[in-house]
Structure 1
């Protein structure tokens, strides 16, 4: 950790109740940390949280780092790294030396020790010995831990770190590099090279705050204090370090969106497609997260029964000849609201039971959240996992990443996409977010998906269900409503079977391949758990040009049409007739087809 940045000094002038980084109570604790404190430290389960809170308050008086005020100091993240098994093996079997730069309390060292690494080969280093001393009290291992702590400034060539020069096999530096300017990061890299054993396989790993656009980040007092990287600039930094030291590195990194990390610096403005400028509001996420924390702390149940997100567009803004402008007026605030809300949920860890994302009813409901917005969220984030662990109902409206640029008064395209935009719309990464979200919804029992499309848009893609059915497990659904989606027969049938849904609604569903025959047969079989069906406006694309599925029924709601069979575009079943076979045909002819509209459910 570093004391010299103006950002931390600005926070340190605030008292605990006033600081945006001080969370009074520990609302949620990961299973990894709880297990470490109960099994390694021997703390009684009901005393774990009070014990952490006491240690945090003692640490806050030493120096009010944000990670201390928000209880992040106790997290163990190295455990989740794909390199962790190899690191543990090297420490246990090869007697390699491990150094945690900026170790604070030494939580990562305790996790490695608990997992069998010899603690005498584990070293921690930080500016403040007081935090390491508190680590003994936090983990209650003063008598058994054999690790060494080195008080060391990474920029001081005469510090205790020199004892390890040329001896370290693995260096862990988490939340460390981002504390410095680019020039200082070069010096840190050179110091790390000096610490490493000069052999192939020496490893440096960790995490830090990054940004899609690399550059200096300005604190609110106007002083430039730190430099953030993306993948390319990070690799460039280590190319410079390599040139300065003569040591070659293989550099691997990736950016992960972290909704739970609040933004208190003034990020640079970002241009909008309309040429305007949208600024980050300084405290938008903070105020929302504090509201959620207040609901969690003071509400009767400590959780939120229902949360709905929606965007309202003024009626005079709906111009039928400006589809692109209408899309921007809806889409941009929708994405901002969505990301701000989930950053606040991650921070507060407020549990919610029902979630409606831009799928509420309304006359002008013509679009949903751009599907790629879901892919920009880290759904494995600990705070989000906790917040959504009790979610039972999800209703979501989605739309394509890009809409057409313009349309006339009849909804016909004027300017169609160029090839680059077509590729962007069809990029499979746009459709992975829903499946990533589904992985953490263990208690979901009601799911509604409405995929919005406008006339003249690019042909649909069938990747939503493809990614969902690729998951190793799916929740058991009581109710499922799919509307406007495109899917293959195989994927749709697999989704219905694996979720064991009992109340199924399919509306405006198009099959990109296959037919509805196997789906109808499963829904009406005695082995199926389905007790209610609602079908309307179904299509089979293989029978060009995507003709209607026309149901052949003898129920009293059907009408005769001369010599033609009784045919409608919808079918409902609920009760004794649920296992009756479904008869249908497909026909592109509109003559003889009676289109009825059942009540909306």
Structure 2
């Protein structure tokens, strides 16, 4: 799962509710999420909390991601991106294609649909189909959502994502790149550039956990490493990826203090990095 929320994993993930990543008490549902659940999913207001809590129970039993324990799987992160008005304007023309990469519950897909985008123009992909299924359960739209979800490993060039090579106008990839090492991220960037249309204006948006002093650090579970970007290193990263592909990529973004976004205490050096990467 690579959700549209920010993901920290503890060293030995546990489904126990005593985990430091499991937040007890009433669901934390922001007004925009509650609005979608009530108006679009047609869930009675008095049932929303119970419904969301039941879905979280199932998700936590599959894998105890911190974003699940902390209710952050309900955040529409890409709608907060400064490029989102442009995304909506382009998608509402009915002529563009959007891919939610590492979509998990695909809450950002539902936000786009709630904002007037035809779900047939949207694709979602993830390695864990269980979370895509839970997304249908969460938003109660299995019979109405026309988005195609693809079970795919981004590192496999022969996955079903190959059907979208050169056809995507906009990719959303929140809490995705930060799960991997620099070298792995370069491989992902190659795939992103293959998927995007080879024209100026093709766009990647998202947000991720970063670090004021960009660094590579071991994964908590002890397998491989993760590279945490600063805005400066993110620009350098796309310069390298673009040069390799023979294209110029313009990177806009901003850093936000992690304490403004995360309920759990984290070192001040961690940041939230919002970005829009555009082919020039």
What TM-score results when the alignment is normalised by the length of structure 1?
0.42
Indicate whether 1:174 and 2:174 are aligned.
Answer: yes
Q: Which residue of 2 aligns with 1:81?
A: 81
Residue in 2 that maps onto 1:542: none
Residue 34 of structure 1 corresponds to 34
Distance in structure 2 (CA, Å) of the matches to 1:22 and 1:140: 25
Q: Does 1:258 align with 2:258?
A: yes
**Within 5 A, what are the aligned runs for 1:88-487?**
88-220=88-220, 224-259=224-259, 260-261=261-262, 285=265
Q: State yes or no: 1:22 paired with 2:46.
A: no
1:323-346 CA-partner distances (Å, limit 9, x unpaired): xxxxxxxxxxxxx9xx7xxx9xxx
Offset at residue 26 of structure 1 (A): 3.5
- Structure 1 residues 152 and 9, CA gap change in structure 2 (3 angstroms): farther
Q: Counterpart of 2:48?
A: 48
Q: Which residue of 1 aligns with 2:59?
A: 59
Change (3 A) 1:220 1:140: closer
How far has the Cα of 1:74 moved from its partner?
Answer: 1.4
The answer to whether the 8 A contact 1:151-1:160 is kept is yes
Q: In 2, Cα distance between the equivalents of 1:220 and 1:91?
A: 38
- What is the RMSD computed on CA atoms of the aligned residues? 2.3
CA shift, 1:176, in A, is 0.5
| 1:192 CA drift (Å) | 0.1
Specify the alignment match of 1:569 in structure 2: none
**1:485-513 residue CA offsets vs partner (Å, 9 max, x unmatched):** xxxxxxxxxxxxxxxxxxxxxxxxxxxxx
1:10 aligns with 2:29: no
Query: Based on CA coordinates, which of the two structures has the bigger radius of gyration?
Result: 1
Deviation track 1:355-391 (CA, whole Å, cap 9, x = no partner) reads xxxxxxxxxxxxxxxxxxxxx99xxxxxxxxxxxxxx
Change (3 A) 1:83 1:163: same
Q: Structure 1 residues 108, 221: CA separation in 2 closer, same or farther (over 3 Å shift)?
A: closer
- Report the CA distance shift for 1:115/1:243 in structure 2 as closer, same or farther (over 3 A): same
Query: 2:49 aligns to what SS in structure 1?
Result: helix
**Structure 1 counterpart SS, 2:91:** helix
Paired positions, count = 265
| In structure 2, distance between residues paired with 1:68 and 1:28 | 11
Secondary structure, counterpart of 1:25 in structure 2: coil
Change (3 A) 1:51 1:146: same
Instruction: Report if the CA contact (8 A) 1:214-1:233 is conserved.
Output: yes
Gap regions ≥5 residues in structure 2: 3-7, 273-280
CA distance in 2, matches of 1:256, 1:38: 30
d(CA) in 2 for partners of 1:220 and 1:98? 32
1:72 is matched with: 72
SS in 2 for 1:261: coil
